[in-house]
Amino acid sequence: MDEAVARARRLIETADVVVSFSGAGLSAESGIDTFRDPDGIWNTIDPATVATPEAFERDPQFVTDWYAQRRRTMRTARPNAAHRALADAGIVNITQNIDGLLEAAGATDVIHLHGTMWADRCHAECGHREQIESRIPSLRACPHCGSWMRPDVVLFGELLPERAWQRAALAALASDVMIVIGTSAEVYPAAGLIDAARQSGASIVVVNVAGTVASRLANVEIRGAAGDVVPRLFGNP
């Protein structure tokens, strides 16, 4: 691993533009479950019952309660060493994560491809949106149009937020190095950013405890936990 870290450091040091592209593995060491690992969320519950617009329309109470439980877990989570290293590096962070831990670590340029757990929006998309304050909300109607409020996250079959997607695509295409951290790279269109960055000339550094479909795109693959590896990519070795 030391040799791979050294090669990645050289790429990062000589690059003008470095971006990160992260998934659930970035927050695993903060105590937040991933989705597709053996003990991941989708191995305990079928996403079709909680993570599609149809599931929400069928049973908004069940889906709201499920998200309330996840919000309670996420609320107690703290950034780990990988979040802190990315924040300190001052780079653009494209993330699929909805937990807000990059911002909690002090990162100022975070692009959220799959929304955020810390806001609710109207399911009918009338435009009404509310930040989540100290109390975790239960199921309630949209005060503007009467539809249901729901977490401001991207469910399967939904389009990604347009501005975030455009910013992420531009950042990926402009990057000299993309550091891909803790994602299975199975969910599209987000995962397509790795290929797009590579096609436009970026070097791809993959940090993951396991091999993934992104392994074949990697110029440097580092097998290890994000909290161990990412801090070693920046600053003093």
Could you say whether residue 183 binds ligand BJW (CB under 6 A)? yes
Residue in this structure with the two tokens 């990315």, named with its chain if needed = 86
Known catalytic residues?
Answer: 114
Cα–Cα distance measured from residue 209 to residue 25, given in angstroms and rounded to the nearest whole number: 8
Q: How does DSSP classify residue 150?
A: E
Stretch that binds ligand BJW, among 21-29, 131-139, 166-174, 197-205 (CB under 6 A): 21-29
Alpha helices in the chain (DSSP H): 2-13, 25-28, 47-50, 53-58, 60-76, 81-89, 101-104, 162-174, 192-199, 226-233
Binding partner of residue 145 among Zn ion, ligand BJW, none, CB cut-off 5 to 8 Å per kind: Zn ion
Minimum Å gap between C-beta 142 and Zn ion is 3
Residues 105, 86: contact at Cβ < 8 Å?
A: yes
Residues numbered 77-96 forming contacts with ligand BJW, rule: CB under 6 A: 96
Minimum Å gap between C-beta 224 and ligand BJW is 7
Binding site for ligand BJW (CB under 6 A): 23-25, 28-29, 34-37, 40, 51, 96, 98, 114, 153-154, 156-159, 182-184, 186-189, 208-210, 212, 225-226
